Each structure stands twice: as C-alpha cells, then as structure tokens.
Amino acid sequence: MVDEHTRQSLLSIVDRSITAERLIEELEKAFALWGGPPMVLRMDNGPEFISETLRDFCAGTVGISYIPPGTPWNNGFIESFNNRLRDECLNRNCWPTLLEARVVIEDFKDEHNHRHRHSAPGYQTPAEYAARCTHRHHPVGCEIN
C-alpha cells in the first residue's frame, strides 16, 4: 500500500497468497498505525480486493476505487513502486523461506521511505515529505496491489 500524496510505502504483505480476511487484518493494523483510514483505497481487481468481505469492511469508513482491468497506469504510484521493488529487490534475490523474504522486503520498504529521494516532492524522501506535510493526518488516498 502506497500513500498517493507522500509516496510512502505503508503496508507490505509478503505471502504466497492473501485472503480478504488477511488483507483486512493488515489494513486494520495499518489504519491504527497511521491514525485512521485514508479517504480512498485505489486497487486493481484481484480476488481479495473485489471480495464482499472487503467491501463490507470498507463500507461507511473508506471509499474503494477499482481501476479498470488492463489499465495499470490508473494505479501509477503502486505500479511504479512495484516495478522498483521488482527490479531492485525481487529479481536479485531468491529466498528459501518466507521469513527471509519478509525481512529483505521490509528493509527495501524502509530504504524506499527513508533514503530514496523522489523528484515530485522536491527530491525529498517520502518520510521527509510526510513529516513536512501540513495536513498532519492519515493518508488521503492509498493504492494497493
């Protein structure tokens, strides 16, 4: 999950498959950590995202915006993050266990948030930019993939 405004990576679930129930558990943790849910979750049409379980969870709390199938450019921030994750982390490693994958991917997420500078927010890291934001509130919109 990437905050569209700050570009911060807020949530990474590393597993062989993810159920809607597991996604909801992780979203609840992320919402608690970041001060509440975003206004909108933008996501593709994966089975865990289009489930009635997730729609019920989000009802009245957070808006859901599904991108049309075959249009990844409508989910640009997460696609950009995923491409960088793939190029700089996933394609360079082969992990014997999920635990090792989780540790390395969490390190990548930390590097992305605290050391990788982005041109859009004035060549600041996502964490630097988020710390300077005046709204000081939970993310406005997040992309999930």
Which residues neighbour 127 within 8 Å (Cβ) at sequence distance 6 or greater? Answer: 8, 113, 114
- pLDDT value for 127: 92
Alpha helices in 9-140 (DSSP H): 20-33, 52-58, 76-88, 98-114, 126-132
Q: Identity (one letter) of the amino acid at 98? A: L
- pLDDT value for 72: 84
- From first to last of its 145 residues, the chain has per-residue pLDDT tens of 888 888 899 888 999 999 999 999 999 999 998 888 988 999 989 999 999 999 999 999 999 999 998 888 888 888 888 899 999 999 998 999 999 999 999 999 999 999 999 887 789 999 999 888 866 555 555 556 6
- pLDDT value for 58: 95
Distances (CA, A) of 58 to 10, 33, 35: 18, 17, 16
What's the rounded Cα separation, in Å, for the pair 75 and 73? Answer: 5
Domain ranges of the chain: 2-144
- pLDDT value for 84: 92
Identify which of 118, 96, 132, 136 has the alpha carbon closest to the alpha carbon of residue 9: 118
- pLDDT value for 133: 80
Residue 60, classed as helix, strand or coil, is coil
- pLDDT value for 6: 86
Distances (CA, A) of 73 to 42, 45, 70, 80, 101: 12, 14, 9, 9, 27
What's the rounded Cα separation, in Å, for the pair 126 and 9? Answer: 8
**Whether CATH 3.30.420.10 fits 2-144:** yes
Q: Are 142 and 2 in contact (CB under 8 A)?
A: yes
